Amino acid sequence: DRRRDSPAAGSPIQPIIKDVGEVYSRLLDHRPVIQGEIRYFVKEFEEKRGLRELRVLENLKNTIFETNERVLPKCEQAMQDNLSETFKRLQAANTMIHRLQEREYEARKLQADKVMAREEKCIAHWEEFMKEQQSKRAEVDEEHRKAMERLKEQYSDMEKELAKYVSF
C-alpha cells in the first residue's frame, strides 16, 4: 500500500512503477511462492496420502503393545515349559551317554586284559618252546658228539686194521 500512496500516484510513471513492483515481487520476493508451494505440498500430502503414515504408526504402536502385553508372555511361558522339558531330556540323554561310555570303557578294558593275557601266554609258550629247543639242541649236539666219537673210534679201528694189511 505504501508504494501505491507514493507521490507519483497521479503521474504517468505510475503504471511503470506498478509493473516494476510486480516484476520485483515475482522475481525477487520468493516468500509468496514458497508459501504457496508449502500449502500445495501439505494439501497434496494430506489429501493423497490420507494420513496413511499416521495410521501405519498407530497400527504399529497397537501391534507392539499387543505383542508386549499378550504374545510375549505366552511365548515366554511356552519357552519356559519347553526349555524345562528339553533340559530334562538333555539330562536323560547325558546320563545314557555316560552309561554307554562306561560300558564301552569296560569292554575295551576287558578286551585289553584278554589281549594282555594272550600275549603273556604267548610269551610263556615261546619261552617254553625256546627252552625245549635248547634241550633238544643239547641232545642233538650230544648225539652228534657221540656219533663223532664212534666214527673216530671206527676209523681208528679201521686204520689199525689197514695198517695190519699194509705191512705184507
48-92 per-position pLDDT tens digit: 766 677 778 889 899 989 888 988 888 888 888 888 889 999 999
Specify the number of domains making up the chain.
1
Residue 149 domain flag? yes
Tell whether 17 is covered by a domain: no
Q: How confident is residue 6, by pLDDT bands cut at 50, 70 and 90?
A: low
In a domain, 111, yes or no: yes
How far is residue 81 from each of residues 30, 71, 75, 76, 85, measured CA to CA in Å?
A: 68, 15, 10, 9, 6
Cell 643239547 belongs to 138
- pLDDT for the residue numbered 35: 84
**Coil, strand, or helix at residue 2?**
coil
Mean pLDDT across the stretch 13-22? 85
Which of 135, 137, 117 is CA-nearest to residue 125?
117
pLDDT band at 5 (very low <50, low <70, confident <90, very high): low
Q: All 3 cell numbers of residue 114? A: 584278554
Inter-residue contact 1 to 19 (CB < 8 Å): no
- pLDDT grade for 42, boundaries at 50, 70 and 90: confident
Contact status, residue 55 vs residue 46, Cβ threshold 8 Å: no
How many residues can be counted in the chain? 168
| Measured distance CA(121)–CA(165) in Å, rounded | 64
Q: Which pLDDT value is given to residue 41?
A: 81
Render pLDDT for 103-137 as a digit per residue (tens, 0 to 9).
Answer: 999 999 999 999 999 999 999 999 999 999 999 99
Which of the four pLDDT bands, split at 50, 70 and 90, describes residue 9? low
The answer to whether residue 14 sits within a structural domain is no
CA–CA separation, 56 vs 42, rounded Å? 19
Quote the distance between the C-alpha of residue 67 and its chain's center: 33
Predicted confidence (pLDDT) at residue 1 exceeds the cutoff of 50: no
Give the domain extent around 54.
50-167
Instruction: Tell me the per-residue pLDDT of 131-162, one tens digit each, with 9 for 90 and over.
Output: 999 999 999 999 999 999 999 999 999 888 88
Residue 3 lies in a domain: no
6 in a domain, yes or no?
no
| Per-residue pLDDT at 71 | 86
Instruction: Please report whether residue 42 resides in a domain.
Output: no
Question: Do the domain assignments include residue 12?
Answer: no
CA–CA separation, 136 and 138 (whole Å): 5
Residue 6 CB neighbours (<10 A) = 11
